[in-house]
């Protein structure tokens, strides 16, 4: 084992320029694989963080005519007990209304939350860019407070502490004080949601002790198991008055896009590996011809076919190891450069840097395995060499 390894190293060092270009070729292939894989992983993780991780993945809603859920405290307990992967649960009461502002009116959705529970799902507290998220009524008045989204306030042009009039679908008009402004980074939400506490919406719209939905969030590592979790929730609730939906049902286009991205990534990586295998096999096959005299002499001296073949297998492994190391360095460097130069107007990267150690290790393993497989062709050719013919023909 030691002798074939020494010969393999000597063969590689005897033509350093050729060895360098082989390692460089493998490195470029691995760097493309690492760069594209890491980039798509970062893009997918960013999309999931923005659209899934800061929103409910399981939603329990009413099937009744008035769209309300009664005895919701008991149902929350049942939901929590239905699956250990459920992390956060928040009741919500939604009601359509209009904001009356001078001559214009704006359709909005009043969303009443138990604020601490909803903050665990939507991260509202950290999304308020002006004002406060404290929505309790003033001590010396019965004034109700609300949070307004960024896009809606671009039209309303209000300030913290200003008042707005909200008209319910039954024609009831109530006045609210703006406590702060939020940005959930989804323009449709920022333009339509008026966020306040649950009791305020219940008293304003006459839904005492009722809600319209229960929203749940599951563990981050289990977001793609939301369909399984939702089935467990539906089974445990065992009620025809409610239905359970999950984010995968509600975001089929997003899932299709993520699947297409992954497929494209796998195809590119596959063809990169095929190119690397063909290149290494071709170059090492030429090396067999170049070194046929030396191999013939070694065979004449008594080296058997197995050790002679292992010389080129060791070459493939060595080239794969150094090519993988070079490729990972290049690939990660390209990814870091991309996140530095491809930025949004606010200076944040278009695609956040996300390094998956398992994917990096897999890329290195594939590079080394591909190089080893490519070396089988010249290794097999070496085993068939007749030392007498090789020495006789020079």
CB atoms inside a 10 Å sphere around CB 282: 13
Q: Which long-range contacts (CB under 8 A, 24 or more apart) does 48-52 make?
A: 48/223, 50/185, 50/186, 51/251, 51/254, 52/223, 52/247, 52/251
What is the largest distance, in Å, between two alpha-carbon atoms of the chain? Answer: 109
Domain encompassing residue 301: 2-51+254-393
Of 221, 249, 277, which residue constitutes the final position of a domain? 249
Are residues 239 and 259 located together in one domain of the fold? no
Of 194, 214, 249, which residue constitutes the final position of a domain? 249
* Residue 220: both structure tokens together: 């981050």
Are residues 29 and 155 located together in one domain of the fold? no
Looking up tokens 């001078």 gives 102
Are residues 212 and 319 located together in one domain of the fold? no
- Residue pLDDT, tens place only, 323-343: 889 989 998 888 888 888 877
On whether the CB atoms of residues 318 and 12 are closer than 8 A, the answer is yes
Which of 227, 116, 102 has its CA nearest to residue 165?
102
Decide: residue 189, CB within 10 A, 0-12 exposed, 13-18 middle, 19+ buried. Answer: buried
Of 231, 249, 267, which residue constitutes the final position of a domain? 249
Per-residue model confidence as pLDDT tens for the chain (394 residues): 677 788 778 877 887 888 888 888 888 888 888 888 888 877 777 777 776 777 888 999 998 888 889 889 899 999 999 999 999 999 999 999 999 877 788 899 999 999 889 999 988 988 999 988 765 544 444 568 899 999 999 999 999 989 999 998 888 888 899 999 999 888 889 999 999 999 999 988 888 889 999 999 988 778 888 889 999 999 998 888 889 998 888 777 766 777 777 777 777 777 777 777 777 667 766 666 566 566 666 666 666 766 767 777 888 888 889 988 998 999 888 888 888 887 776 667 777 777 888 888 888 888 888 788 777 776 666 666 555 555 555 5
Dist. CA 277–CA 288, nearest whole Å: 16
Are residues 200 and 267 located together in one domain of the fold? no
Are residues 243 and 95 located together in one domain of the fold? yes
Are residues 367 and 234 located together in one domain of the fold? no
Strand partners, 218: 86
Are residues 152 and 197 located together in one domain of the fold? yes
Dist. CA 129–CA 150, nearest whole Å: 9
Are residues 278 and 218 located together in one domain of the fold? no
On whether the CB atoms of residues 251 and 53 are closer than 8 A, the answer is no
Are residues 311 and 354 located together in one domain of the fold? yes
Q: Can you give the pLDDT at residue 211?
A: 93
List of E strands, the chain: 58-62, 86-101, 104-113, 128-131, 144-149, 163-168, 173-182, 193-197, 213-218, 242-246
Are residues 242 and 288 located together in one domain of the fold? no
Dist. CA 151–CA 161, nearest whole Å: 18
Q: Can you give the pLDDT at residue 143?
A: 64
List of E strands, 192-350: 193-197, 213-218, 242-246
- Residue pLDDT, tens place only, 109-153: 999 999 889 999 988 988 999 988 765 544 444 568 899 999 999
Domains of the chain: total: 2
Q: Residue 138 has what DSSP assignment?
A: P
Are residues 176 and 197 located together in one domain of the fold? yes
Are residues 210 and 279 located together in one domain of the fold? no
Sequence-distant (≥ 6) Cβ neighbours of residue 55 within 8 angstroms = 121, 122, 217, 247
Dist. CA 249–CA 244, nearest whole Å: 10
């Amino acid at each position: 084992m030691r002798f074939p390894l020494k010969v393999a190293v000597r063969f590689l060092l005897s033509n350093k320029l050729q060895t360098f270009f082989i390692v460089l070729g493998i490195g470029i292939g691995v760097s493309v694989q690492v760069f594209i894989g890491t980039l798509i992983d970062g893009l997918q993780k960013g999309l999931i963080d923005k659209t899934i991780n800061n929103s409910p993945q399981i939603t329990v809603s009413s099937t009744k005519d008035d769209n309300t859920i009664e005895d919701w405290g008991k149902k929350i307990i049942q939901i929590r007990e239905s699956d250990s992967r459920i992390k956060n649960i928040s009741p919500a009461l939604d009601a359509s209304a209009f904001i009356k502002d001078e001559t214009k009116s704006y359709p909005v959705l009043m969303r009443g939350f138990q604020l601490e529970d909803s903050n665990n799902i939507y991260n509202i507290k950290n999304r308020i860019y002006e004002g406060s998220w404290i929505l309790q009524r003033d001590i010396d008045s019965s004034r109700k407070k609300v949070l307004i989204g960024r896009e809606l306030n671009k039209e309303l042009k209000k300030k913290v502490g200003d008042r707005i009039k909200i008209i319910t679908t039954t024609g009831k008009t109530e006045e609210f004080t703006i406590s702060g402004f939020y940005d959930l980074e989804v323009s449709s939400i920022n333009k339509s949601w008026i966020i306040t506490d649950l009791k305020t919406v219940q008293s304003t719209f006459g839904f005492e002790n009722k809600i319209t939905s229960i929203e749940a969030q599951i563990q981050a590592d289990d977001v793609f198991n939301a369909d399984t979790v939702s089935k467990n929730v539906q089974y445990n609730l065992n009620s025809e008055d409610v239905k359970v939906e999950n984010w995968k049902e509600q975001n089929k286009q997003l899932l299709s896009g993520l699947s297409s991205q992954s497929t494209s990534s796998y195809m590119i990586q596959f063809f990169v590996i095929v190119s690397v295998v063909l290149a290494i096999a071709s170059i090492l096959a030429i090396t067999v011809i170049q070194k046929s005299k030396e191999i013939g002499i070694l065979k004449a001296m008594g080296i058997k076919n197995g050790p002679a073949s292992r010389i080129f297998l060791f070459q493939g492994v060595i080239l794969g190891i150094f090519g993988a190391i070079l490729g990972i360095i290049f690939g990660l460097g390209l990814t870091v450069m991309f996140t530095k130069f491809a930025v949004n107007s606010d200076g944040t990267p278009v695609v956040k840097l996300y390094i998956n150690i398992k994917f990096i290790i897999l890329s290195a393993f594939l590079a080394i395995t591909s190089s080893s497989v490519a070396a089988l062709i010249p290794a097999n050719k070496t085993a068939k060499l007749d030392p007498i013919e090789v020495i006789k023909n020079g």
